[in-house]
Every structure is written in structure tokens, then in C-alpha cells.
Amino acid sequence: MRKEELEGGTTPLRTPITRDVVDHQDSMEHLKQGPARKGARMDISPGLTAERRQVVTPEQTAEHLGSGSASVFSTPSMVLLMELTALAAVDPHLPEGQQTVGIGLSVRHLAPTPVGMQVRCRAELQEVNGRRLIFHVQVWDEVELIGEGTHERAIVEARRFLERAEQKGARE
């Protein structure tokens, strides 16, 4: 993929971006604030998409994270980017008190990406089955497709989900 295409907001298939591109650092703030918007109604259907871009840093390498010895974009960092992108596609559409949690992931890491190169992830909601959401996720660097797969998320009541986790901690 040419650099102009990456910056111009199109995928290799020339599909226009349908959501704002969000910087990776901003994504962490979204998680702290919580996904729910007061008064929002749930309007989640197949076709929702989101894209995220980030520049690969030394902290995201396999060598740094211990998942390998190469100083390239790690699979754990790619998976995090995929999850955050899927999260960005649906969580803004959830009513207050609900959020999504990751429940499944099947991905292939296809090519290495060096530190300093920009990567772009696209998540598209493919299927809604009750509270279960299935996404197709793809990641490109400035040259080629570097990863793809399927990510599943479930819609949960945030309060009940956290209470359940806290009950586990109280058992000790």
C-alpha cells in the first residue's frame, strides 16, 4: 500500500473510512472513561466499522514484551490493536451501564513490521447473535496486510460483570 493511501483514509479495497480514525493513545482514555453514553440507545447491527492507526514503538516489540526475540511489532500488540478497534466500533452505541468484553480471538500474524512504521487496523462487525458480536479484523502496515482474523465480543451489564469479578477476589 502506498503511503498516500494510508494517509488518505482508504483501505486497499478503496472503501471509505466510516468512522473517525482514533490515535492509540486516545483509545486508553476511552477505556478509563467507560463506553456508555447517558441516554444512548443500543443500535448495533452488522456493518459497523472503526479504524485505528498508530506508529510502532519499541515498547510494542516482541523483544520488549518477551513474546519473541525480534524487534518488530509483536503479536500481542497487534491483538490489542484489533480489540481496541472492535471496541471503538460498538461501545459508543451502547446504552449507559453496558459495555463489551472480548470472548474470542482467532488471528494470523502474516508479516513483520519495524519500529517507526505506521500500522492501521480496521474492524467490521459481521454478525450479531443476541449479545454476541463477531468482527472481521485486519491490520496493514505501510506496505502490506500484516494480520487478520476474527474477534468476538459480548455485551454485558458493566455493574454485574464487575461484581462477579470482585466476588472471585473476595473468595481468598
At 34 the pLDDT is: 44
CA distance 8 to 144: 16
CA distance 64 to 47: 36
At 41 the pLDDT is: 52
Catalytic residues: 75, 83, 109
Q: Which fold has domain 3-170?
A: Thiol Ester Dehydrase; Chain A (3.10.129)
Low-confidence ranges of the chain (pLDDT < 50): 1-40
Q: What is the 3-state secondary structure (H, E, C) of 102-126?
A: EEEEEEEECCCCECCCEEEEEEEEE
The domain spans of the chain are 3-170
At 3 the pLDDT is: 37
C-alpha cell at 62: 516482541
